Structures are given as structure tokens and as C-alpha cells.
């Protein structure tokens, strides 16, 4: 008949019977006086190996374990070898996992005990045979439990890694709206470690102003329905952050609701960039078409005006008007040229870029274009990033040139390669709050003769190098503009087109 209990099956498999228990009982008086010697020899042998010694906290722990080993020896010989005995043995394998003892030491340690005990029982063949059987059973129990607990421990660690790596943060709320558990504590929409805190205390202030989170939880609990906010936009330190918030009511003694928060900021930014790129592509196509349509007639008009102007004698009253017409034709020609450049795809040849050298070249070109002394531009820091040297210089020149044309008396360029960006800061009149959101839109300009393509083109160039160009929020201490150009620290050396 097949045994129902796992321990009965083990005993039957090795042939351990009541006669073996009796033999071990008779051998115990021989072993009892030597238990301290057995335990000392056992731990002296274990402590010789670094891997095994590492699981022990101190000598006091070793002394406690020696006492436990002596109790284990007594029970090994005296029994009773029943189901309760099996249950106590299961705990040993779990303890080995808890202290992180490598499994190889269980086998070698059991072998050491076996050899020592057989030496003590020399001449008692029935006791030695029973000892071998019960030690095999002990080892099977410990090994099986150790493997089960190790697998459970590894699965728990894997679960914790998965949960802590989730892009979403989940808060478990009790009946008092206190956070009883959370997936992780680095969510950008909560303050500090939320566990044990009231929901109203851990929510980011900007989020609390945007929606009534506690009210949403109460509504979900009352209606027993999910409350979902697909997208919430909040402004933190001048930057937009986006999230999705879902409240799920639950019925559990320890939880009344789950608050699921997913950061959508990166996704929304990518969507905005894709939408912006599509708009620019459409606009570029239209601009190229218009420019080509204008260029030929404009060239014809310019030729006619030049012929007419050459036929007008010096001092003629019509000469100033013709000169103005020629200037306007030239200005239109420049605009057509800029439209064609804007419509052309940007190709970046990525390589190492010395930001100090690019900034120096840009400063000289910007100062020369506005007829200002180069000493008004101050460059701090140095280092290399990945990008196209000519395009990086073009962006920096545009930013410096804009600042000088706007009346800035000082332009500071801060190179912070360790952080992956370069700042261009000026003390000019700055950009009004109403215009800050549209400065990168094509054809927006505050200049009398500007085309409004400089900053949009600079941003396109930055994006072609997988970088970004942004206008940072103004501060109370700052009157001018603060642009930040981010460039990659490392990148594949392949051309990119946008």
C-alpha cells in the first residue's frame, strides 16, 4: 500500500522500520557523552571555509547553533520518528535558505557527521545501518525543502524586481485613506516614502491642485466603480509632467482602494515631437513649393529693376525709389533662400565635438554679424559630446546672435558636459510670457525684419543630432533668455535625417 504522508514514503523507500528506531535508541547512551565533541568538530570543519563562515553573524550565533545541533542529535537517535519529527526537519532546510547557506555545504556537513558518528558506533552494525538510513532521510528532507524555499525566494526577488521596475506606481489604501503598501517610492507624483502616510500628505501639491484625488477615491468606493483620469497635465518647476490616474475599489480587510499612477511625460513628449516633426515636414514641403514659385519671378523682376536703374541718370528723383525696390527684392531673395534651407532635410554626421571650440567659433561669427565686440560673450567649461561640429556651431551662433541683436550686453555660455548640455544665457530684454510657448514655431518673430525661422531651424538641427533645444523658465534673478542645448554623450556614428 502506498504511504499517504511524504515522510512515510521516505522511510519506506530507505527501509527504515521500528527496528531501526530501536537500534538508534540503544546506541544513544554511546553517543550522548560525545555530542559536544561532535558539534565542536562539525563547526570547526565548517568554519574552515569562507563561503560557509560568511553566513554566521558572530561567535555567539555559532554557540547557539551548537546547542541546536546537540538537540538535533538527541532527537535523531531517540525519536520518535513520526510526522511531528518530519515537520521539525522541514524547518531546517528553510533556515538554511534564510541564512543564505550554499546547498553544497549541506551534503558535505552531513557526510562529516556521518563519518564521526560511525566512528563512535564502531562494532554496532545495526545502529550504523539505521544511522545511514535516517541520515539519508534527513538529507532528502533538507534538500527538498531547501530547493523549494530557494525557488520561492528567487521568485520573490524576481517579483520585487519586476514590481520595482514598473513604470506605474500603485498605492494600496486602507479605510482611512492611509497608504498601507506601495510598489515603489520613486514615483515623481508622490512625496517621500508613502507607506504609513495619509494619501493627502503624499500627493504632489501640483497634482492635488489639478484634481481632487481623495474625492476620486471616495467616489470609487461609494459607487464600486473604477474612476479613471486618462491624462492629467501639471506644471512642476516650469516643466510639464503628464500622468494617468486610475482608482480601483477593492474589498479586503487591509485595503479599500488601489491608486494606480502612470507617468506619461515621456510618451506625451514623444507624441508632441512626432506631431511637431509631421507639421514641420508639411510646412517645409509647402515652403519649398512657395519658394520655388517665387524665386523665378523674383529673379525676373530683379533683372528688370537693375536694367531700369542702370538707365536712370545720377541725381534722378526716381533713383532712391529704385534703390529701395532693389533692397526689398534682395530681402525677399534672402527669405526665399531661408525657406529653401528650412525645407531641406537636416543630415547630421555624428562625431566627437569639442564644445569649447564650437562655442568660440560661434562667438566670433555672432559678434561679427552684429558688429559687437567678442568680449561681450563669456564661455565657461569645456568637454566633448557627440554631434556634428558644424551644426553645433550653427545652433550656438544663432542663439548668441539673437541675444546680441536683442540688445544683450553680456552673453554667458556654460558648458556642462558631465550633465550633457550647454547653456546660453543673456541679460537682454528676454521673451514675454505670452511668447515663450511660440518662439520655436516657424515664422514667429519679434524682429522688424526677421523671418522667424532661426529658432525652429536650430531646434530641428538639435533633434537631427538626437538632442534637444529648449527655452528654460525665467527666474526672478534673470532678465534675459536661458536656452539649453542637450547633446548625447554617446551615439552610433551614423547619419540621421529629419
The pLDDT, as a whole number, for residue 492 is 45
- How is 253-314 classified by DSSP, letter by letter? TTEEEEEEEEE-HHHHHHHHHHHHHHHHHHHHHHHHHHHHHHHHHHHHHHHHHHHHHHHSPT
State residue 17's pLDDT score.
Answer: 93
pLDDT at 128: 93
- pLDDT score of 133: 93
**Of the candidates 219, 279, 205, the residue with the CA atom closest to the CA atom of residue 459:** 279
Taking only the tens place, the pLDDT of each residue in 237-286 is 667 888 899 999 998 888 899 998 888 888 887 777 777 667 666 666 66
pTM of the model: 0.44
Q: Which residues of the chain have pLDDT under 50?
A: 1-2, 492-498
Q: What is the pLDDT of residue 494?
A: 45
Give the count of alpha carbons within 13 A of 412, CB side only.
Answer: 11
CATH number for region 168-263: 3.30.450.20
CATH number of 268-343: 1.10.287
Bridge partners of residue 263, in order along the sequence: 243
pLDDT at 134: 92
Per CATH, the number for 6-163 is 1.10.490.10
The whole-angstrom separation of Cα 338 and Cα 453 is 8
Strand order in the sheet with 255-263: 179-182, 168-173, 255-263, 239-252, 227-236
Domain extents in the chain: 6-163, 168-263, 268-343, 347-497
Which DSSP helix (H) or strand (E) runs through 458? Answer: helix 454-464
- Cα–Cα dist 154/149, whole Å: 8
User: What pLDDT score was predicted for residue 495?
Assistant: 45
Considering the segment(s) 347-497 as one domain, its CATH architecture is 2-Layer Sandwich (3.30)
By DSSP bridging, strand 482-486 and strand 255-263 are: unpaired
Residue 26: the pLDDT is: 94
Q: What are residue 233's DSSP bridge partners?
A: 242
* Whole-number pLDDT of residue 293: 67
Amino acid at each position: 500500500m502506498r504511504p499517504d504522508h511524504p515522510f512515510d514514503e521516505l522511510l519506506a523507500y530507505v527501509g527504515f522500520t521500528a527496528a531501526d528506531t530501536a537500534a538508534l535508541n540503544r546506541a544513544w547512551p554511546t553517543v550522548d557523552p560525545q555530542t559536544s565533541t561532535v558539534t565542536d568538530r562539525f563547526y570547526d570543519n565548517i568554519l574552515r571555509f569562507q563561503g560557509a563562515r560568511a553566513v554566521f553573524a558572530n561567535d555567539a550565533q555559532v554557540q547557539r547553533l551548537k546547542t541546536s545541533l546537540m538537540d538535533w542529535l538527541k532527537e535523531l537517535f531517540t525519536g520518535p520518528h513520526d510526522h511531528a519529527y518530519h515537520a521539525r526537519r522541514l524547518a531546517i532546510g528553510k533556515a538554511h535558505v534564510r541564512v543564505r547557506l550554499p546547498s553544497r555545504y549541506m551534503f558535505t556537513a552531513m557526510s562529516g557527521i556521518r563519518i564521526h558518528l560511525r566512528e563512535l558506533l564502531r562494532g554496532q552494525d545495526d545502529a550504523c545501518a539505521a544511522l545511514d538510513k535516517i541520515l539519508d532521510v534527513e538529507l532528502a528532507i533538507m534538500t527538498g525543502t531547501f530547493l523549494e524555499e530557494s525557488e520561492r525566494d528567487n521568485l520573490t526577488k524576481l517579483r520585487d524586481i519586476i514590481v520595482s521596475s514598473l513604470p506605474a506606481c500603485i498605492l494600496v489604501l486602507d479605510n482611512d485613506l492611509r497608504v498601507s503598501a506601495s510598489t515603489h517610492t520613486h514615483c515623481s507624483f508622490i512625496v517621500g516614502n508613502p507607506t504609513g502616510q495619509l494619501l493627502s500628505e503624499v500627493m504632489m501639491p501640483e497634482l492635488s491642485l489639478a484634481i481632487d484625488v481623495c474625492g476620486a477615491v471616495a467616489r470609487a468606493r461609494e459607487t464600486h466603480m473604477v474612476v479613471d483620469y486618462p491624462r492629467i497635465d501639471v506644471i512642476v518647476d516650469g516643466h510639464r509632467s503628464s500622468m494617468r490616474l486610475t482608482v480601483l475599489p477593492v474589498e479586503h480587510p487591509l485595503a479599500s482602494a488601489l491608486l494606480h499612477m502612470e507617468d506619461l511625460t515621456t510618451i506625451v513628449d514623444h507624441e508632441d515631437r512626432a506631431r511637431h516633426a509631421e507639421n514641420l515636414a508639411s510646412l517645409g514641403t509647402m515652403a519649398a513649393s512657395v519658394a520655388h514659385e517665387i524665386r523665378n519671378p523674383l529673379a525676373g523682376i530683379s533683372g528688370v529693376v537693375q536694367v531700369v536703374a542702370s538707365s536712370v541718370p545720377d541725381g534722378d528723383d526716381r533713383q532712391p525709389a529704385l534703390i529701395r525696390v532693389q533692397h526689398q527684392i534682395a530681402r525677399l531673395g534672402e527669405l526665399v533662400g531661408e525657406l529653401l534651407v528650412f525645407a531641406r532635410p537636416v543630415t547630421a554626421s555624428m562625431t566627437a565635438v569639442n564644445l569649447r571650440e564650437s562655442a568660440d567659433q560661434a562667438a566670433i561669427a555672432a559678434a561679427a554679424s552684429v558688429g559687437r565686440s567678442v568680449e561681450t560673450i563669456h564661455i565657461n567649461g569645456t568637454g566633448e559630446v557627440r554631434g556634428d561640429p558644424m551644426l553645433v556651431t550653427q545652433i550656438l551662433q544663432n542663439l548668441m546672435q539673437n541675444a546680441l541683436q536683442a540688445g544683450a550686453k553680456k552673453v554667458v555660455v556654460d558648458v556642462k558636459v558631465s550633465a550633457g548640455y550647454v547653456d546660453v544665457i543673456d541679460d537682454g530684454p528676454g521673451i514675454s510670457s505670452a511668447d515663450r510657448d511660440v518662439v520655436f514655431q516657424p515664422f514667429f518673430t519679434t524682429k522688424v525684419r526677421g523671418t522667424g525661422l532661426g529658432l525652429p531651424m536650430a531646434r530641428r538641427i538639435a533633434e537631427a543630432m538626437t538632442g534637444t533645444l529648449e527655452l528654460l523658465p525665467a527666474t526672478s534673478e534673470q532678465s534675459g533668455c536661458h536656452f539649453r542645448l542637450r547633446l548625447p554623450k554617446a551615439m552610433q556614428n551614423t547619419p540621421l535625417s529629419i
